[in-house]
Amino acid sequence: MEYFELFDERNLPRWQQKPRPEVHRDGDWHRSSCVWVLNEKRELLVNHRHPDKDVFADLWDVSIAGHLSPGENFRESALREVQEELGYRPLSSELVFIDVWRMDGFDIQTRLYDREFAGVFCWKTDLPLSAFIPQEDEISELRYLPLEQVRKELQHPGTGLAYIPMETVFLDILERIAAME
């Protein structure tokens, strides 16, 4: 059973742990890491979430992401998640920390909450899609898409890929990453 450390709405520790299903059912705040992967063509790696995921199944995500294990920090989690989900481990120095974002999501299909403080990183790489081995129970498909296309699809939901419904937060992060270049 996977356990999460709990935090309050200001990202302060509550010094408690709880099983993953209960955290999502009850809407408890917890932490995650998100790695936005960009290639040299200014394309973003997006992934189609597996249909069996507990929250936001069968939707497209803009980052490689996962929850922090108890005692883990954002960078450790980010490196572990990229290794698990893409079968490739970048150097720690390749991940540029952007900031911590508050993500407050609700999955209308499963009636589960996903309230996270996400440590966001950007990884610029020249690796092609063929270099990655997607984790089968997490990712159904990978694509590189132009940043401008992703921006337009997030600004106008329903006109492109069906993304996790956190477009406002994703657009804010996208702007910060685009400003870095």
Tens-digit pLDDT profile for residues 5-39? 999 999 999 999 999 999 999 999 999 999 999 99
pLDDT at 30: 98
Map out the domains of the chain as residue ranges.
Answer: 3-180
Q: What is the pTM of this model?
A: 0.96
pLDDT at 168: 96
Cα 85 to Cα 98: distance, rounded to the nearest angstrom: 21
Per-residue pLDDT of the chain (181 residues; tens, 9 = 90+): 999 999 999 999 999 999 999 999 999 999 999 999 999 999 999 999 999 999 999 999 999 999 999 999 999 999 999 999 999 999 999 999 999 999 999 999 999 999 999 999 999 999 999 999 999 999 999 999 999 999 999 999 999 999 999 999 999 999 999 888 6
pLDDT at 155: 97
pLDDT at 180: 83
Structure tokens at 60: 């497209």
Pick the CATH number of 3-180 from 3.10.50.40, 3.90.79.10, 3.40.80.10, 3.40.190.10: 3.90.79.10
